[in-house]
Structure 1
Amino acid sequence: MRDVFIIGAGIHPFGRTEGRSGRDQGVFAVRQALADTGLDWTDIECAYGGSSAAGSADIMVNELGLTGLPFINVANGCATGGSALAAARNAVAAGEYDIALAVGFDKHERGAFNAKPKEWGLPGWYGQTGLMLTTQFFALKLRRYMQLHGISRETLGRVAEKSFRNGEKADHAWRRTPIDLETILHAPVVNDPLTKYMFCSPAEGGVALIVASGKKVRELGADAVKIASIAVRTRPPGSFEVFAPSISVERGGAPTTLASRGAFETAGIGPDDIDVAQLQDTESGAEIMHMAENGFCADGEQEAWLAEGRTEITGRLPVNTDGGCIACGEPIGASGLRQVYENVVQLRGRGGERQVPNAPKTAYSHVYGAPGLSAVAILER
């Protein structure tokens, strides 16, 4: 398998963009990525991408150009972007192509992600007021975790406070106004123990990444970031997922744990070697639990980590340096690729006010998608 590098990265700002479809935002991101590396659309040899609510990705060729390239649609819930990148990377690593594209985009309605409420006999306000099944599941899962491992509501608030503070420094973020801890903790409760500022919001946006072989990197003289490893894993027996009738907290069975171990093994490094990380944070508790599932700390240690600022931009392990899903929102097709985009920015030293100091050399991204799939990517400079 050949080494593979990210040579181009583009993003359409997340949030709400009236008059521009989700697919249009994906096209915008692709054109940004092409400009980033000085390539033309005709140079792209294959593409992988998808969305949850904004249509098929392959139709982007109507705007980008009818070149006849193979364009594969990807659908893996919140892990759609990570899965598209894995497919593009594998195509180049296998020697099938020298340049490939991974793209994700979406455009969601306001309110909680509400899975066909009318088909369930539910009114539209059911999801809009936070009663969607997923938000209840997140809260129940988190409440049990807090009880088992001594995590306080203040720690949940610290995650959100950090997210909004980092989002202020990211020009692609949606929520760019800092919110203090007291406001977060005393905001209306959506699903106990989570207040409205502890959740991400359905959003809009697009991200595109261009990957290439080492041969192409040398030919182009590109500002390249190496993909050290990518791992995608589904859930084995004993794990749980969003729509399961019962909850198991068996640590060894979590798909995130399996993907993390696989990615570290392939990269030949461990959690202590990572300089910056982007972790799935559908809500504050998700970031906390995923810190442990990805091997960065033991269960319960997050309480001290957040209180001591270890996950701040200047901390021991900066986490979600652009504000994560909480500040950026979550357009499902684009969210996982946004994480990798942010890591490319950090490794290139282009983060501006949110730049991690001391020239980071390794970066980690993790995304979790229902109904129980995780993708992890490790980048090296």
Structure 2
Amino acid sequence: MSGVDVAIVGVGLFPFGRYPGTQCLEMGAQAARDALADAGAEWKDVQSAFVGSHEVSNPDSIVGLLGLTGIPVRAVFNGCATGGTSLQMAAKAIQYGEADLAMAIGMDKHPRGAFSGDPSILGLPAWYGQTGMFLTTHFFGMKINRYMQQHGISRETLAKVASKNFANGARNPQAWRRTPMTPEAILDSEIVNYPLTRYMYCGPDEGAAALVLARADQAHRYTSTPVFVRAAELRSRRPGAFEVQSPSLPLESAPSPSVDASKAAYEVAGIGPDDVNVAQLQDTDAGSEVIHMAENGFCADGEQEKWIAEGATELTGRLPVNTDGGLIANGEPIGASGLRQIREIVLQLQGRAGDRQIAGDPRVGYTHLYGAPGASAVTILSR
């Protein structure tokens, strides 16, 4: 990133799950307070903030719970890439001189039944979801089915990816799903959209996450272990990309926006995939994590089969992926999900990840988001 260097000096989380008695704004405010406490700062110190949500039309109204200080607070929504976008905008606010201390906050409270076709959601009858016709599940099923046929990926590999994420979630006291599952049990669960079964998908839920960012030359005021934002890039799709609104077009006709975003991030950060020690990849389903391993440059198409068999993406592997359980174990409140990813990387780089802490003194972390109908955000962090 050009200009002033930016550091993350505080992280906060309202654990993802289901909270019938808690308002979305309350969750966001609590995550923000936790991030501020982590940084040893107060809301009155913050000079700019970016707040992302899908369900809350005016998330900037969070100031009613945090304090009416009059600072610029902007609402953000960019599909599943919202969290990465919020961080990027907060970093830019610091680089462009609007703030020395800024925040990125994300929150959402999604209704149940997104995969069942509940009549209260989009007005669809129950059979629509039960027969596997819900748009998002149908798209991801089609996408990985085609990819498997082209590159020799097995259903067993998809099950191992999901099992790995459930196992990581079991080590994470703040994960939503904390019950380990074997690959066999995942394969034996009901099929939602072939080849994906029930436990190969993430679920929509509720929660919030927040980050405090500072000028790097002032980071010592807040923490002795700042984590620096080396790149924060966003790209949208180009004609021919294999996306929700154009699933019949050839996959090879244009790269995914994830490919474009990752290449841009590596160039800005001045590193390559081999330099990354730990990664968070969008795992809306197990197939997405497999595809995103290649799209982000960590392996070639088809090499995932060998990587997963060798345990390369496990906590003890050469590139641990989704160390907190990812979306599969945590669910996806859209506005908060990307900031949860970044929080996890910060904890890993600071050695604060507890039972899921990876070995080897990690120094470079990577986060990736992919949102329909085709936007991808990539962030590279380092100590």
TM category, shorter:
over 0.9
In structure 1, the residue matched to 2:350 is 348
Provide the aligned length of Structure 1 versus Structure 2: 381
Is 2:99 the counterpart of 1:88?
Answer: no
Taking the aligned partners of 1:129 and 1:201, their CA distance within structure 2 comes to 18
Q: How far 1:53 moved relative to its partner?
A: 1.5
> Does the CA contact (< 8 Å) of 2:82 and 2:334 recur in 1?
yes
Give runs of aligned pairs for residues 1-381 of structure 1, distance below 5 A: 1-112=3-114, 122-124=124-126, 126-127=128-129, 130-244=132-246, 246-250=248-252, 252-381=254-383
User: Which amino acid letter does the alignment assign opposite residue 248 of structure 1?
Assistant: P
Q: How far 1:244 moved relative to its partner?
A: 2.4
Q: How far 1:248 moved relative to its partner?
A: 2.6
Taking the aligned partners of 2:226 and 2:339, their CA distance within structure 1 comes to 16
Q: How far 1:19 moved relative to its partner?
A: 0.5
Point out where structure 2 has 5 or more consecutive residues left out of the alignment: none
CA distance 1:245–1:152, shift in 2 (3 Å):
closer
Q: How far 1:237 moved relative to its partner?
A: 1.8
User: Which amino acid letter does the alignment assign opposite residue 23 of structure 2?
Assistant: S
CA distance 1:115–1:261, shift in 2 (3 Å):
farther
> Does the CA contact (< 8 Å) of 2:118 and 2:125 recur in 1?
no
Taking the aligned partners of 2:121 and 2:205, their CA distance within structure 1 comes to 23
Compare 237-246 and 155-164 and name the one that shifted more.
Answer: 237-246
Taking the aligned partners of 1:215 and 1:151, their CA distance within structure 2 comes to 47
Q: How far 1:268 moved relative to its partner?
A: 0.3
User: Which amino acid letter does the alignment assign opposite residue 30 of structure 1?
Assistant: A
Taking the aligned partners of 1:248 and 1:48, their CA distance within structure 2 comes to 37
Q: How far 1:73 moved relative to its partner?
A: 0.4
CA distance 1:128–1:333, shift in 2 (3 Å):
farther
User: Which amino acid letter does the alignment assign opposite residue 103 of structure 1?
Assistant: I
Identity %: 55
Taking the aligned partners of 1:194 and 1:335, their CA distance within structure 2 comes to 22
Taking the aligned partners of 2:115 and 2:98, their CA distance within structure 1 comes to 38
Q: How far 1:348 moved relative to its partner?
A: 0.5
> Does the CA contact (< 8 Å) of 2:178 and 2:329 recur in 1?
yes
Compare 94-103 and 272-281 and name the one that shifted more.
Answer: 94-103
Point out where structure 1 has 5 or more consecutive residues left out of the alignment: none
String of CA shifts for 1:259-310, please: whole Å, max 9, x gaps: 0000000000000000000000000000000000000000000001011100
Structure 1 residue matching 2:365: 3-state secondary structure: strand
Q: How far 1:117 moved relative to its partner?
A: 6.5
Taking the aligned partners of 1:296 and 1:104, their CA distance within structure 2 comes to 28
String of CA shifts for 1:339-374, please: whole Å, max 9, x gaps: 101000100101111001011000000000111000
Taking the aligned partners of 1:314 and 1:265, their CA distance within structure 2 comes to 28
Taking the aligned partners of 1:343 and 1:305, their CA distance within structure 2 comes to 21
> Does the CA contact (< 8 Å) of 1:45 and 1:97 recur in 2?
yes
> Does the CA contact (< 8 Å) of 1:78 and 1:370 recur in 2?
yes
CA distance 1:150–1:245, shift in 2 (3 Å):
closer
Q: How far 1:220 moved relative to its partner?
A: 3.8
TM-score where L is the length of structure 2: 0.96
Taking the aligned partners of 2:248 and 2:102, their CA distance within structure 1 comes to 41
Taking the aligned partners of 2:358 and 2:225, their CA distance within structure 1 comes to 19
User: Which amino acid letter does the alignment assign opposite residue 74 of structure 1?
Assistant: V
> Does the CA contact (< 8 Å) of 2:370 and 2:377 recur in 1?
yes
CA distance 1:78–1:115, shift in 2 (3 Å):
farther
CA distance 1:82–1:251, shift in 2 (3 Å):
farther
Q: How far 1:129 moved relative to its partner?
A: 6.4
Q: How far 1:238 moved relative to its partner?
A: 2.1
Q: How far 1:376 moved relative to its partner?
A: 0.2
Compare 89-98 and 351-360 and name the one that shifted more.
Answer: 89-98
Q: How far 1:222 moved relative to its partner?
A: 4.5
Q: How far 1:216 moved relative to its partner?
A: 2.0
RMSD: 1.8
Q: How far 1:81 moved relative to its partner?
A: 0.8
> Does the CA contact (< 8 Å) of 1:165 and 1:177 recur in 2?
yes
